[in-house]
């Protein structure tokens, strides 16, 4: 009996999951709730560190300044017709705040658990909300939104993968660099300690859009954790 107990302890220490053993035996096993099985804690307030691509992110780049984006000819034509006033007039002022671009914005993000299987990410800039659904079955097609539909999966030992589709078409950069409604976004979220005891969040974003991109658009953005929401500054979307 003592041997069995030690073995069970050893298995737990080594991270052998009981449900994995059950699955191997062919028995259906319920997925553990994402919140309870989270290998890392991303909740809290995070501020974007704009240490790269400053002139494409902190200010609205001028029309035609598309450096480093692998645009197709069709995308260049669309970007060439960029008209922020027309976007605002038509209620499309949030085109640069969609899921493909939002983590690149100079913004603060508040990450919380909406429920046991849904991680919620709010932005102050543009006041957008993203919902990362874990363990969710495929849902029927819904109306497209700026943030689309996101499915999430923990990656062991400590990372988060998020896949997003069903977005409205939007802008990768605020000066009209387009992505289509058929674009797919894959993101990886990783944590890192900072000198002095702080914490950084690293988000790698991969945008696939054969219509407007010659190859997947890959960027990585970094954030620093803040103690509280005292600098939270909700501002609506703006196209200019």
d(CA 31, CA 38): 12
Give the DSSP H/E element, type plus range, for residue 151.
strand 149-155
Which neighbouring-strand residues pair with 129?
122
| Position among 1, 27, 68, 227 found at the interface with another protein (CB under 8 A) | 68
Task: Decide: residue 111, CB within 10 A, 0-12 exposed, 13-18 middle, 19+ buried.
Answer: buried
| Position among 20, 58, 86, 89 found at the interface with another protein (CB under 8 A) | 58
Instruction: HSE, CB side, 13 Å, CA atoms: give it for residue 36.
Output: 5
1 binds another protein (CB under 8 A): no
Nearest residue (CB) to another protein, 9 versus 139: 9
User: By CB under 8 A, how many residues form the interface with another protein?
Assistant: 60
Where in 150-209 is the site for another protein (CB under 8 A)?
Answer: 155, 157-159, 161, 175, 188, 190, 192, 194-195, 200, 202, 204, 206
d(CA 24, CA 54): 50
Kindly give, in sequence order, each residue whose CB lies less than 8 Å from that of residue 49, ignoring residues fewer than 6 positions away. 200, 222, 223, 224
Nearest residue (CB) to another protein, 29 versus 219: 219
| Position among 29, 47, 127, 163 found at the interface with another protein (CB under 8 A) | 47
Supply the minimum distance, in Å, between the C-beta of residue 228 and another protein: 15
| Position among 33, 35, 43, 63 found at the interface with another protein (CB under 8 A) | 63
Contacts within 8 Å (CB) and 24+ apart, 136-145: 141/166, 142/166, 144/168, 144/181
**Residue 151 in contact with residue 181, Cβ under 8 Å?**
no
Where in 73-132 is the site for another protein (CB under 8 A)?
Answer: 84, 106-108, 124-125
60 binds another protein (CB under 8 A): yes
Binding site for another protein (CB under 8 A): 3, 6-7, 10, 14-15, 47-56, 58-63, 65, 67-70, 84, 106-108, 124-125, 155, 157-159, 161, 175, 188, 190, 192, 194-195, 200, 202, 204, 206, 215-222, 224, 231, 233, 240
């Amino acid at each position: 009996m003592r041997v069995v107990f030690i073995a069970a302890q050893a298995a737990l220490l080594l991270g052998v999951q009981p449900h994995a053993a059950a699955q191997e035996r062919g028995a259906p096993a319920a997925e553990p709730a994402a919140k309870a099985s989270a290998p890392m804690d991303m909740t809290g307030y995070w501020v974007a560190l704009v240490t790269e691509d400053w002139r494409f992110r902190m200010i609205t780049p001028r029309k035609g300044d598309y450096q480093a984006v692998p645009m197709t000819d069709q995308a260049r034509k669309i970007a060439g017709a960029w008209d922020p006033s027309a976007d605002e007039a038509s209620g499309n002022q949030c085109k640069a705040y969609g899921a493909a671009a939002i983590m690149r914005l100079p913004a603060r993000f508040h990450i919380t658990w909406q429920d046991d299987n849904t991680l919620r990410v709010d932005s102050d800039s543009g006041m957008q909300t993203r919902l990362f659904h874990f363990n969710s079955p495929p849902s029927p097609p819904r109306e497209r939104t700026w943030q689309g539909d996101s499915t999430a999966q923990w990656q062991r030992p400590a990372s988060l993968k998020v896949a997003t589709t069903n977005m409205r078409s939007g802008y990768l950069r605020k000066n009209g660099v387009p992505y289509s409604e058929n674009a797919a976004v894959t993101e990886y979220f990783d944590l890192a300690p900072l000198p002095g005891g702080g914490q950084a969040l690293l988000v790698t974003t991969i945008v696939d859009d054969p219509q407007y991109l010659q190859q997947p658009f890959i960027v990585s953005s970094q954030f620093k954790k803040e103690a509280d929401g005292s600098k939270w500054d909700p501002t609506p979307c703006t196209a200019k």
